[in-house]
Amino acid sequence: MQKELMTLEELRAKIDRVDDALLKLLNERMEYVHAVGELKNISGGTIYRPEREQAILARLKANNRGRLTDLAIDALFMELFAVARNLELPERVVYLGPEASFTHQAAESRFGAMSTYHPIGTIEGVFREVASQKAKFGVVPIENNSNGIVNDTIQCLGLHDLRIIAEVVVDIHHVFASTTDDLQKIKSIYSKDIAFGQCRKFLDDFGLSEVEQIPVDSTAKAAKLAAKTPQSAAICAKVAATMYSLPILFENIEDDKSNKTRFFIISNFDNIPSGQDKTSILVKLPNTPGALVEFLNDFDKAQINLTKIKSHIMDGASVFFLEFDGHKEDKKIKKIFKKHSNSIKFLGSYIKEAEDIWS
Protein backbone atom coordinates (compact mmCIF):
# COMPACT_ATOMS: atom_id res chain seq x y z
CA MET A 1 0.00 0.00 0.00
CA GLN A 2 2.86 2.33 0.85
CA LYS A 3 4.37 1.84 -2.64
CA GLU A 4 1.07 2.76 -4.29
CA LEU A 5 0.98 6.08 -2.42
CA MET A 6 4.51 7.14 -3.29
CA THR A 7 4.82 10.05 -5.68
CA LEU A 8 6.81 9.97 -8.91
CA GLU A 9 9.49 12.12 -7.28
CA GLU A 10 9.78 9.72 -4.34
CA LEU A 11 10.08 6.70 -6.67
CA ARG A 12 12.77 8.46 -8.71
CA ALA A 13 14.66 9.33 -5.52
CA LYS A 14 14.65 5.65 -4.53
CA ILE A 15 15.87 4.63 -8.01
CA ASP A 16 18.66 7.22 -7.72
CA ARG A 17 19.74 5.74 -4.38
CA VAL A 18 19.78 2.24 -5.90
CA ASP A 19 21.83 3.53 -8.85
CA ASP A 20 24.33 5.13 -6.49
CA ALA A 21 24.63 1.86 -4.56
CA LEU A 22 25.05 -0.09 -7.82
CA LEU A 23 27.82 2.25 -8.95
CA LYS A 24 29.68 1.75 -5.68
CA LEU A 25 29.31 -2.04 -5.91
CA LEU A 26 30.35 -2.12 -9.57
CA ASN A 27 33.51 -0.16 -8.79
CA GLU A 28 34.21 -2.54 -5.91
CA ARG A 29 33.77 -5.47 -8.34
CA MET A 30 36.19 -3.87 -10.79
CA GLU A 31 38.82 -3.60 -8.05
CA TYR A 32 38.57 -7.36 -7.47
CA VAL A 33 38.69 -7.96 -11.23
CA HIS A 34 41.83 -5.83 -11.40
CA ALA A 35 43.42 -7.93 -8.64
CA VAL A 36 42.56 -11.10 -10.59
CA GLY A 37 44.10 -9.53 -13.69
CA GLU A 38 47.35 -8.83 -11.86
CA LEU A 39 47.54 -12.45 -10.74
CA LYS A 40 46.91 -13.60 -14.31
CA ASN A 41 49.66 -11.30 -15.57
CA ILE A 42 52.09 -13.06 -13.24
CA SER A 43 50.88 -16.56 -14.14
CA GLY A 44 50.28 -15.90 -17.84
CA GLY A 45 46.58 -16.74 -17.54
CA THR A 46 43.97 -15.71 -20.11
CA ILE A 47 41.63 -12.80 -19.37
CA TYR A 48 38.64 -14.27 -21.23
CA ARG A 49 37.39 -17.46 -19.56
CA PRO A 50 34.01 -18.46 -21.03
CA GLU A 51 33.57 -21.35 -18.58
CA ARG A 52 33.96 -19.01 -15.58
CA GLU A 53 31.44 -16.54 -17.03
CA GLN A 54 28.91 -19.30 -17.66
CA ALA A 55 29.33 -20.57 -14.10
CA ILE A 56 28.61 -17.07 -12.75
CA LEU A 57 25.50 -16.75 -14.94
CA ALA A 58 24.21 -20.17 -13.86
CA ARG A 59 24.65 -19.25 -10.18
CA LEU A 60 22.91 -15.89 -10.59
CA LYS A 61 19.95 -17.41 -12.42
CA ALA A 62 19.56 -20.08 -9.75
CA ASN A 63 19.57 -17.44 -7.01
CA ASN A 64 17.30 -14.98 -8.84
CA ARG A 65 13.99 -14.24 -7.08
CA GLY A 66 13.09 -10.96 -8.77
CA ARG A 67 11.66 -9.61 -12.01
CA LEU A 68 14.79 -10.17 -14.08
CA THR A 69 14.44 -12.97 -16.62
CA ASP A 70 17.29 -15.33 -17.52
CA LEU A 71 17.74 -13.43 -20.80
CA ALA A 72 17.91 -10.13 -18.91
CA ILE A 73 20.56 -11.54 -16.56
CA ASP A 74 22.57 -12.73 -19.56
CA ALA A 75 22.35 -9.33 -21.25
CA LEU A 76 23.31 -7.33 -18.14
CA PHE A 77 26.17 -9.50 -16.95
CA MET A 78 27.66 -10.36 -20.35
CA GLU A 79 28.09 -6.62 -20.90
CA LEU A 80 29.53 -6.27 -17.39
CA PHE A 81 32.01 -9.07 -18.09
CA ALA A 82 33.05 -7.36 -21.34
CA VAL A 83 33.56 -4.01 -19.59
CA ALA A 84 35.69 -5.69 -16.93
CA ARG A 85 37.85 -7.47 -19.51
CA ASN A 86 38.40 -4.27 -21.46
CA LEU A 87 39.45 -2.35 -18.37
CA GLU A 88 42.16 -4.97 -17.82
CA LEU A 89 43.16 -5.59 -21.43
CA PRO A 90 41.39 -3.89 -24.36
CA GLU A 91 40.22 -6.58 -26.77
CA ARG A 92 40.63 -6.41 -30.54
CA VAL A 93 38.02 -8.59 -32.21
CA VAL A 94 37.88 -9.39 -35.92
CA TYR A 95 34.82 -10.87 -37.59
CA LEU A 96 33.54 -11.77 -41.02
CA GLY A 97 32.19 -8.44 -42.24
CA PRO A 98 30.61 -6.18 -43.07
CA GLU A 99 29.43 -4.05 -40.17
CA ALA A 100 25.88 -4.71 -38.95
CA SER A 101 26.00 -8.31 -40.19
CA PHE A 102 24.79 -11.25 -38.11
CA THR A 103 28.45 -12.14 -37.44
CA HIS A 104 28.95 -8.62 -36.05
CA GLN A 105 25.88 -9.19 -33.87
CA ALA A 106 27.31 -12.49 -32.61
CA ALA A 107 30.63 -10.79 -31.77
CA GLU A 108 29.00 -7.96 -29.82
CA SER A 109 26.85 -10.43 -27.87
CA ARG A 110 30.05 -11.84 -26.35
CA PHE A 111 32.48 -8.93 -26.27
CA GLY A 112 30.15 -6.00 -25.57
CA ALA A 113 30.13 -2.40 -26.70
CA MET A 114 33.61 -1.43 -25.45
CA SER A 115 35.68 -3.85 -27.53
CA THR A 116 37.38 -2.76 -30.74
CA TYR A 117 35.79 -4.46 -33.75
CA HIS A 118 37.20 -4.84 -37.24
CA PRO A 119 35.20 -6.36 -40.12
CA ILE A 120 37.28 -8.62 -42.36
CA GLY A 121 36.32 -9.46 -45.92
CA THR A 122 36.93 -13.23 -45.82
CA ILE A 123 36.89 -16.10 -43.34
CA GLU A 124 40.51 -16.84 -44.24
CA GLY A 125 41.32 -13.21 -43.40
CA VAL A 126 39.76 -13.56 -39.94
CA PHE A 127 41.88 -16.66 -39.22
CA ARG A 128 44.99 -14.94 -40.56
CA GLU A 129 44.55 -11.89 -38.30
CA VAL A 130 44.15 -14.05 -35.19
CA ALA A 131 47.00 -16.40 -36.16
CA SER A 132 49.34 -13.43 -36.62
CA GLN A 133 48.20 -12.04 -33.23
CA LYS A 134 46.98 -8.80 -34.77
CA ALA A 135 43.68 -9.65 -33.07
CA LYS A 136 43.01 -11.72 -29.96
CA PHE A 137 39.66 -13.11 -31.08
CA GLY A 138 37.92 -13.94 -34.34
CA VAL A 139 34.25 -14.64 -35.01
CA VAL A 140 33.17 -16.73 -38.00
CA PRO A 141 30.01 -18.61 -39.01
CA ILE A 142 30.14 -22.40 -38.93
CA GLU A 143 26.61 -23.48 -39.88
CA ASN A 144 23.04 -22.40 -40.55
CA ASN A 145 20.12 -24.76 -40.04
CA SER A 146 18.73 -23.88 -43.47
CA ASN A 147 21.93 -23.75 -45.53
CA GLY A 148 24.29 -26.17 -43.83
CA ILE A 149 27.98 -26.11 -42.92
CA VAL A 150 30.24 -23.22 -43.95
CA ASN A 151 33.01 -25.01 -45.86
CA ASP A 152 35.47 -22.10 -45.73
CA THR A 153 35.43 -22.24 -41.92
CA ILE A 154 36.14 -25.99 -41.94
CA GLN A 155 39.02 -25.45 -44.39
CA CYS A 156 40.55 -22.73 -42.20
CA LEU A 157 40.21 -24.80 -39.03
CA GLY A 158 42.24 -27.47 -40.80
CA LEU A 159 44.92 -25.07 -42.04
CA HIS A 160 45.50 -22.90 -38.95
CA ASP A 161 46.71 -23.87 -35.48
CA LEU A 162 43.98 -22.00 -33.58
CA ARG A 163 41.33 -23.06 -31.08
CA ILE A 164 37.57 -22.80 -30.93
CA ILE A 165 37.04 -21.24 -27.52
CA ALA A 166 33.28 -20.59 -27.66
CA GLU A 167 30.17 -20.99 -29.79
CA VAL A 168 27.38 -18.45 -30.25
CA VAL A 169 23.93 -19.26 -31.65
CA VAL A 170 22.02 -16.33 -33.17
CA ASP A 171 18.37 -16.35 -34.20
CA ILE A 172 18.22 -15.02 -37.76
CA HIS A 173 15.43 -12.48 -38.18
CA HIS A 174 14.93 -10.21 -41.18
CA VAL A 175 13.11 -6.89 -41.40
CA PHE A 176 11.63 -5.05 -44.37
CA ALA A 177 12.84 -1.47 -44.26
CA SER A 178 12.29 1.52 -46.54
CA THR A 179 11.98 5.30 -46.59
CA THR A 180 8.83 4.74 -48.68
CA ASP A 181 5.68 4.05 -46.64
CA ASP A 182 3.51 3.04 -49.61
CA LEU A 183 4.52 -0.50 -50.68
CA GLN A 184 3.01 0.04 -54.14
CA LYS A 185 5.56 2.77 -54.84
CA ILE A 186 8.57 0.54 -54.14
CA LYS A 187 10.43 -0.14 -57.40
CA SER A 188 13.37 -2.23 -56.15
CA ILE A 189 14.43 -4.33 -53.17
CA TYR A 190 18.04 -4.85 -52.09
CA SER A 191 19.23 -7.88 -50.14
CA LYS A 192 21.59 -10.82 -50.13
CA ASP A 193 20.44 -13.43 -52.67
CA ILE A 194 19.73 -16.06 -50.01
CA ALA A 195 17.59 -13.63 -47.97
CA PHE A 196 15.13 -13.22 -50.84
CA GLY A 197 14.47 -16.95 -50.74
CA GLN A 198 14.15 -16.94 -46.95
CA CYS A 199 11.40 -14.28 -47.13
CA ARG A 200 9.47 -15.51 -50.17
CA LYS A 201 6.10 -15.87 -48.39
CA PHE A 202 6.22 -12.29 -47.11
CA LEU A 203 7.00 -10.97 -50.60
CA ASP A 204 4.14 -13.00 -52.07
CA ASP A 205 1.63 -11.97 -49.40
CA PHE A 206 2.31 -8.23 -49.80
CA GLY A 207 2.44 -8.23 -53.60
CA LEU A 208 6.17 -7.59 -53.74
CA SER A 209 7.29 -10.75 -55.53
CA GLU A 210 7.33 -9.00 -58.93
CA VAL A 211 9.33 -5.99 -57.68
CA GLU A 212 12.92 -5.94 -58.99
CA GLN A 213 15.19 -7.85 -56.62
CA ILE A 214 18.78 -6.60 -56.57
CA PRO A 215 21.24 -9.04 -54.94
CA VAL A 216 24.15 -7.47 -53.03
CA ASP A 217 27.05 -8.80 -50.96
CA SER A 218 25.33 -8.44 -47.60
CA THR A 219 22.09 -7.36 -45.96
CA ALA A 220 24.04 -4.52 -44.31
CA LYS A 221 24.98 -3.18 -47.74
CA ALA A 222 21.32 -3.59 -48.75
CA ALA A 223 20.26 -1.28 -45.91
CA LYS A 224 22.91 1.27 -46.86
CA LEU A 225 21.78 1.33 -50.50
CA ALA A 226 18.06 1.47 -49.68
CA ALA A 227 18.65 4.42 -47.34
CA LYS A 228 20.14 6.40 -50.26
CA THR A 229 17.88 5.21 -53.11
CA PRO A 230 14.34 6.63 -53.46
CA GLN A 231 11.46 4.14 -53.87
CA SER A 232 13.60 1.22 -52.78
CA ALA A 233 13.62 -1.14 -49.80
CA ALA A 234 15.91 -3.60 -48.07
CA ILE A 235 15.52 -7.01 -46.53
CA CYS A 236 18.10 -6.87 -43.78
CA ALA A 237 18.90 -7.37 -40.12
CA LYS A 238 17.32 -4.95 -37.65
CA VAL A 239 20.76 -3.75 -36.55
CA ALA A 240 21.60 -2.84 -40.17
CA ALA A 241 18.41 -0.81 -40.62
CA THR A 242 19.13 0.99 -37.35
CA MET A 243 22.74 1.72 -38.32
CA TYR A 244 21.68 3.44 -41.56
CA SER A 245 18.57 5.14 -40.09
CA LEU A 246 16.31 3.17 -42.43
CA PRO A 247 12.70 3.01 -41.16
CA ILE A 248 11.51 -0.52 -40.41
CA LEU A 249 8.10 -1.30 -41.89
CA PHE A 250 7.84 -5.00 -40.95
CA GLU A 251 9.80 -7.22 -38.55
CA ASN A 252 10.44 -10.99 -38.53
CA ILE A 253 9.47 -11.46 -42.18
CA GLU A 254 11.43 -14.71 -42.68
CA ASP A 255 9.50 -17.85 -43.68
CA ASP A 256 11.26 -20.05 -41.13
CA LYS A 257 10.92 -18.54 -37.67
CA SER A 258 13.39 -21.09 -36.28
CA ASN A 259 16.23 -20.02 -38.60
CA LYS A 260 19.51 -20.01 -36.64
CA THR A 261 23.18 -19.54 -37.40
CA ARG A 262 25.95 -20.88 -35.22
CA PHE A 263 29.26 -19.04 -34.92
CA PHE A 264 32.68 -19.98 -33.57
CA ILE A 265 34.91 -17.68 -31.55
CA ILE A 266 38.53 -18.54 -32.28
CA SER A 267 41.71 -17.65 -30.39
CA ASN A 268 45.05 -19.15 -29.38
CA PHE A 269 44.36 -20.78 -26.00
CA ASP A 270 42.58 -23.80 -24.54
CA ASN A 271 39.63 -23.67 -22.14
CA ILE A 272 39.66 -25.55 -18.88
CA PRO A 273 36.82 -28.06 -18.28
CA SER A 274 33.48 -26.65 -17.14
CA GLY A 275 31.40 -29.82 -16.87
CA GLN A 276 29.15 -28.69 -19.73
CA ASP A 277 31.52 -28.86 -22.66
CA LYS A 278 31.51 -29.77 -26.32
CA THR A 279 34.56 -30.76 -28.36
CA SER A 280 35.21 -30.34 -32.10
CA ILE A 281 37.80 -32.29 -34.09
CA LEU A 282 38.86 -33.00 -37.66
CA VAL A 283 39.58 -36.63 -38.51
CA LYS A 284 41.57 -38.00 -41.42
CA LEU A 285 41.42 -41.80 -41.39
CA PRO A 286 43.49 -44.39 -43.25
CA ASN A 287 42.00 -45.40 -46.59
CA THR A 288 41.25 -48.94 -45.42
CA PRO A 289 37.97 -50.90 -45.19
CA GLY A 290 36.14 -50.34 -41.90
CA ALA A 291 38.38 -47.51 -40.65
CA LEU A 292 35.46 -45.12 -40.02
CA VAL A 293 33.32 -47.81 -38.38
CA GLU A 294 36.18 -48.78 -36.04
CA PHE A 295 36.77 -45.13 -35.14
CA LEU A 296 33.10 -44.45 -34.36
CA ASN A 297 32.79 -47.70 -32.40
CA ASP A 298 35.42 -46.42 -29.97
CA PHE A 299 33.11 -43.51 -29.13
CA ASP A 300 30.19 -45.87 -28.69
CA LYS A 301 32.16 -48.18 -26.39
CA ALA A 302 33.26 -45.19 -24.29
CA GLN A 303 29.65 -43.92 -24.15
CA ILE A 304 30.61 -40.57 -25.63
CA ASN A 305 27.66 -38.80 -27.25
CA LEU A 306 28.52 -37.87 -30.85
CA THR A 307 26.45 -34.84 -31.85
CA LYS A 308 27.72 -34.17 -35.38
CA ILE A 309 29.64 -35.88 -38.17
CA LYS A 310 30.13 -34.24 -41.56
CA SER A 311 32.45 -35.29 -44.38
CA HIS A 312 34.56 -32.78 -46.33
CA ILE A 313 37.22 -32.75 -49.00
CA MET A 314 40.48 -31.02 -48.02
CA ASP A 315 43.47 -31.03 -50.36
CA GLY A 316 41.84 -33.79 -52.34
CA ALA A 317 41.41 -36.05 -49.30
CA SER A 318 38.28 -36.93 -47.36
CA VAL A 319 38.15 -35.65 -43.76
CA PHE A 320 35.41 -35.70 -41.14
CA PHE A 321 34.27 -32.86 -38.91
CA LEU A 322 33.07 -34.36 -35.62
CA GLU A 323 31.55 -32.91 -32.47
CA PHE A 324 30.75 -34.66 -29.23
CA ASP A 325 29.86 -33.95 -25.61
CA GLY A 326 32.77 -33.62 -23.20
CA HIS A 327 36.18 -31.98 -22.82
CA LYS A 328 39.51 -33.14 -24.23
CA GLU A 329 40.77 -33.57 -20.65
CA ASP A 330 38.03 -36.08 -19.80
CA LYS A 331 39.63 -39.48 -19.14
CA LYS A 332 37.63 -41.43 -21.72
CA ILE A 333 38.21 -38.79 -24.40
CA LYS A 334 41.95 -38.65 -23.72
CA LYS A 335 42.06 -42.41 -24.27
CA ILE A 336 40.51 -42.07 -27.75
CA PHE A 337 42.79 -39.15 -28.63
CA LYS A 338 45.82 -41.23 -27.66
CA LYS A 339 44.72 -44.24 -29.72
CA HIS A 340 43.99 -42.14 -32.83
CA SER A 341 46.61 -39.42 -32.38
CA ASN A 342 47.76 -39.71 -36.00
CA SER A 343 44.21 -39.20 -37.32
CA ILE A 344 42.79 -36.45 -35.07
CA LYS A 345 43.28 -32.71 -35.21
CA PHE A 346 41.89 -31.16 -32.04
CA LEU A 347 40.00 -27.92 -32.73
CA GLY A 348 38.68 -26.96 -29.31
CA SER A 349 36.70 -27.82 -26.19
CA TYR A 350 34.26 -25.12 -25.13
CA ILE A 351 31.03 -24.43 -23.27
CA LYS A 352 28.03 -25.93 -25.04
CA GLU A 353 25.66 -23.00 -25.61
CA ALA A 354 22.79 -24.97 -27.12
CA GLU A 355 21.78 -28.34 -28.45
CA ASP A 356 22.27 -28.95 -32.15
CA ILE A 357 20.63 -26.14 -34.18
CA TRP A 358 19.23 -28.75 -36.55
CA SER A 359 17.06 -30.36 -33.86
Domains and CATH numbers, the chain: 92-171+260-351 (3.30.70.260), 175-250 (3.40.190.10)
Do 243 and 101 form a contact (C-beta atoms < 8 A)? no
So what's the pLDDT on residue 157?
96
* Bond prior to 98 in cis (omega within 30° of 0): yes
pLDDT in tens, the chain (359 residues): 444 678 888 899 999 999 999 999 999 998 888 888 778 777 766 777 888 888 899 899 999 999 999 989 988 998 888 888 777 776 789 999 888 888 998 998 888 877 889 999 999 999 999 999 999 899 999 998 877 889 999 999 999 999 999 999 998 899 999 999 999 999 999 998 889 988 999 999 999 999 999 999 888 899 999 999 999 999 999 989 998 999 999 999 999 888 889 999 999 999 989 889 999 999 998 778 888 898 999 999 999 999 999 988 877 778 999 999 999 999 999 999 999 999 999 999 999 987 776 66
Question: What are the CA-CA distances from residue 152 to residues 166, 187, 222, 276 (Å)?
Answer: 18, 35, 23, 28
